[in-house]
Structure 1
Amino acid sequence: MKIAIDAMGGDNAPKEIVLGVMEAAKQFKDVEFILFGKEEAILEHLTDKTRVTIVHTDEKIESDDEPVRAVKRKKNASMVLAATAVKDGEADACISAGNTGALMSTGLFVIGRIKGIERPALAPTLPTISGKGFVMLDLGANSDAKAEHLLQFGLMGSIYAEKVRKIDRPRIGLLNIGTEETKGNELTKKAFELMKEQTAYHFVGNIESRDLLMDVADVVVTDGFTGNMVLKSLEGTGAAFFSMLKMSLMNSFKNKLAAGVLKKDLLALRAKMDYSEYGGACLFGVQAPVIKAHGSSNAHGIFTTIRQARDMIQKQMVETIKSEIDQGKLGGETI
C-alpha cells in the first residue's frame, strides 16, 4: 500500500514529519511513502530512502490561508498534490498536519465524497479515564447539520470503531443536554428518532457532555459547531488542570518533594490523556482515507497517524461504508 504525506504541513514540518515516516518505515514493511514538499528540506532529515519517494514542490498552504481559495489557487501545494495522488490512484491514503479547513476542502473537492453520504465528518479519537478512548464526530467539518447527517455520522463512526479500533458492537451515542428521549432541540430530537429506528449500528441513546470521558459510549455523534466547541473545551480544561497542578506542586519545598515522588505517575497520567496517541482526526465520508494529524505533531504523532491510515486501508473502511450505504440500512439508498 502507498500513503501520500504532506511533508510541509504543521508547526514542525518537515523535520518531525520525515522522522515520523522513518519510524513508520522501520515498523511497517508493507507501506510505501510518497512525500510532497521541498526536496532539499526533506532530504536533511531522511535517513533511509527505502520505500520513500519525494515529489518536489515549493508551494504549500499556510495555516492562515482561506481554505477553499487556497485549494483552488495553489494547485501545486504539497497538500493538494498529496490528495491528487490519492485521486489518481497513485496512493491509498492521504495525511497532513497542515491547515484543517484546507485539508477538508481538499478531501471533498479533490478526492470526492462517497455517493450517498451527504456530508463528510471530522472525527478524532479522544481519551477516556480508562484509556480506551472514544470516537467523536463531527468536530468541525460542518457547522450546520441535519438530523439525517447525524444518522450517517453514526454509521461511519461505528464502522471505524469496529474495523480499526477493533471494538465488537460499538456503542453509538448522541450528544445532548440530557439522557431522556424528549430532551434537546429540534435537531437532536429528530436525530434521536432516526438513530433509534435504523438497523445498521448499536445506538445507546443520548449522552451528556459531562460523561464523555467516562466510557459511556465508543462513538459520540453531534454537529460540527457543537463538537468543535466541546473539543476545545476539553483541550482547555486539560491544559488548565495540569497547569494548576504544576503550580500547586511547585509552591513549597514539601510539595516539590512530593512532586519528585509522583513525577513518573503524573507523566503517565498526562500521556494517558494525550489524544495524539490515538492518531489523527479522520475525514469520514470521502472516497479514501484522509487524516488530519495534530498541527503540533512530533515524530511519534506522525507515526501513530500513519499506523491509523494503514489500519483503515487494511480493514477496507471506505469500501465498508459504501456497502452499508448501498444496502440501505439507514432507511433508504441515499439521504
Structure 2
Amino acid sequence: MATKLITIAFDVMGSDHGPAEVVRGAAQLSLESPHIHALLVGDRALIDDALAEIKHSGERISVQHASEHIGMDEKPGEALARKPDASVSVAARLVAEGEADALVSAGNTGACVLSCARHFQLLPGVRRAALAAVYPTRDRHGQKADPFSLILDVGATVEATAEDLVTFAVMGAAYARIISRNENPKVALLSNGTEPNKGPRQVVEAHAALSAMRGLQFIGNVEGVDIPKGTADVVVTDGFVGNVCLKMLEGVHDTVVELAQYAYKESLRWRAGLAMLSGGIQRIKDITDWEQYGGAPVLGFDRIFIKAHGRSKARAIANAGKVAAKAVAHDLGKAIQQGLAR
C-alpha cells in the first residue's frame, strides 16, 4: 500500500539565518523523504531565488506567497495584528484549512504559539496548550534509543493548575511514545523535593492524580539536578518554571563550550588533553546535538506544530519536518485523546 503523502507548511521567513536556510532544509527533505511535500510560505521571490541555487525535487515543493513576516524582537500580539499576511499566520491558516498537515517554524516563539491559538482548536479535554522542549540527557544504563528527554511547559502557560499539569503529563507521554519510540516513558513532576508533599499546592494535587492514573509510568517528583541525568523521559512543570529551567540549561551548555574553547587557546597542555579526549568529546557532541532532533512541539492543539530553534540551519529544519510528519502519520492528537480518556 502506498504511503500517504504528508504536507508540511514551513514558515520560511522565521529563521535567524534568513529564508535561504529554511529553503535548503526543505529542499534536503524533498530529496530524502518521498512521502513528505514541503509547502514553503513566505516571500515568493526570495524563495524562488533560493530554490534556483540548490538541488531539490520540484514535485515535492510548492510555494505560498506571504508578503510580511514577524521579527524575533517584535511583540507577538501587536505584530500579528499589524501584519495579517505574516508568513507564520498564513502557514497556520493553511494547516487549519487542510491545505497542509503540520506547521514548522523557527521564528518568533510567541508569534508562533499565538498564531496556532488563533487558527487551531484545542483537543477535547485540553484546557491549555503546552510548549515543550527537548534536552540532552545522560543515559546511564544504555537503555534509551533517544538521547533526548522532553520538558513541558516551557512558556505557553505561565501558571498551570493541577489539572493542567496532569494534562501536560499525558500529552508528553504520548509524544515520547510516538517520536522517541519509547513504549513506556517515565513521567515526573518538577519540584523542590522528591517527597509527594513537596512543592506548591498544584504540584501536590497533580502528584496525587498522576499516582492514581492507569497506563502512565509516573515516577513521582524530580528536582532540577535530575533533568540532565535523564531520570525522567518527560518532566512536567508550569511555563514560568520551565522557561527559567530551559534558559539555565542552555546557559550551562554555552558556558561549558566557551570554557573549552578558552582552554584550547590558552594552554598547550589543555590542547594535548583535549586531543586525547577527542573521541569522548565527539560522543558528547553527538548526544547534545539538538539539530538531529529538529524541534519541539506545542501540544494540545488539533493540528501539529513543531517549533525549531531560531538558530536552526538546513539539517535541523529538515529533521523538524520529519518529526512533524511522524507526528501526523501516527495521529498524535488521537493518542493524546486516548491518554486523557484513561
SS of aligned partner of 2:59? coil
The one-letter code of the counterpart of 1:284 is L
- What residue is the counterpart of 1:102 in the other structure? 111
The reply on whether 1:45 has 2:63 as its aligned counterpart is no
The reply on whether 1:30 has 2:35 as its aligned counterpart is yes
Instruction: Report the more deviating stretch, 8-17 or 190-199.
Output: 190-199
Q: 2:231 aligns with which of 216, 227, 236?
A: 216
- What residue is the counterpart of 1:12 in the other structure? 17
In 2, Cα distance between equivalents of 1:91 and 1:323: 24
The one-letter code of the counterpart of 1:103 is C
Q: 2:68 aligns with which of 47, 52, 59?
A: 59
C-alpha RMSD of the superposition: 1.5
The reply on whether 1:68 has 2:73 as its aligned counterpart is no
In 2, Cα distance between equivalents of 1:127 and 1:142: 23
In 1, Cα distance between equivalents of 2:66 and 2:221: 47
Tell me the number of residue pairs that the alignment of Structure 1 and Structure 2 aligns.
327
In 1, Cα distance between equivalents of 2:11 and 2:281: 34
- What residue is the counterpart of 1:289 in the other structure? 304
Once the two structures are TM-superposed, the CA of residue 68 in structure 1 deviates from its matched residue by 2.1
Q: Unpaired segments of 5 or more residues in structure 1?
A: 330-335
* CA deviation map 1:115-145 (0-9, x unaligned): 2200000112211022622111001101111
SS of aligned partner of 2:227? helix
The one-letter code of the counterpart of 2:10 is I
Once the two structures are TM-superposed, the CA of residue 44 in structure 1 deviates from its matched residue by 2.2
The 8 Å contact of residues 15 and 21 in structure 2, kept in 1 or not, is answered as no
Once the two structures are TM-superposed, the CA of residue 72 in structure 1 deviates from its matched residue by 3.3
Q: Unpaired segments of 5 or more residues in structure 2?
A: 1-5, 140-145
In 2, Cα distance between equivalents of 1:152 and 1:63: 30
SS of aligned partner of 1:179? coil
In 1, Cα distance between equivalents of 2:267 and 2:239: 44
- What residue is the counterpart of 2:262 in the other structure? 247
Once the two structures are TM-superposed, the CA of residue 42 in structure 1 deviates from its matched residue by 1.1
The one-letter code of the counterpart of 1:25 is S
In 2, Cα distance between equivalents of 1:15 and 1:271: 25
- What residue is the counterpart of 2:129 in the other structure? 120
In 2, Cα distance between equivalents of 1:179 and 1:258: 38
The 8 Å contact of residues 175 and 220 in structure 1, kept in 2 or not, is answered as yes
* CA deviation map 1:64-99 (0-9, x unaligned): 222123233322111011100111011100011000
- What residue is the counterpart of 1:311 in the other structure? 326
* CA deviation map 1:245-291 (0-9, x unaligned): 22223222232233344445424423322333222120000111111
* CA deviation map 1:21-56 (0-9, x unaligned): 111111110111110111121122213322111111
In 1, Cα distance between equivalents of 2:277 and 2:50: 36
In 2, Cα distance between equivalents of 1:111 and 1:207: 33
**Please, what TM-score do these two structures have when normalized by structure 2?**
0.91
- What residue is the counterpart of 2:208 in the other structure? 193
**Percent of pairs identical after alignment?**
33
- What residue is the counterpart of 1:3 in the other structure? 8
The one-letter code of the counterpart of 2:46 is A
Give the 3 Å change call, closer, same or farther, for CA 324–260 of structure 1 in structure 2: closer
The one-letter code of the counterpart of 2:93 is T
The 8 Å contact of residues 118 and 149 in structure 1, kept in 2 or not, is answered as yes
In 1, Cα distance between equivalents of 2:32 and 2:172: 27
In 2, Cα distance between equivalents of 1:252 and 1:196: 53
- What residue is the counterpart of 1:141 in the other structure? 156
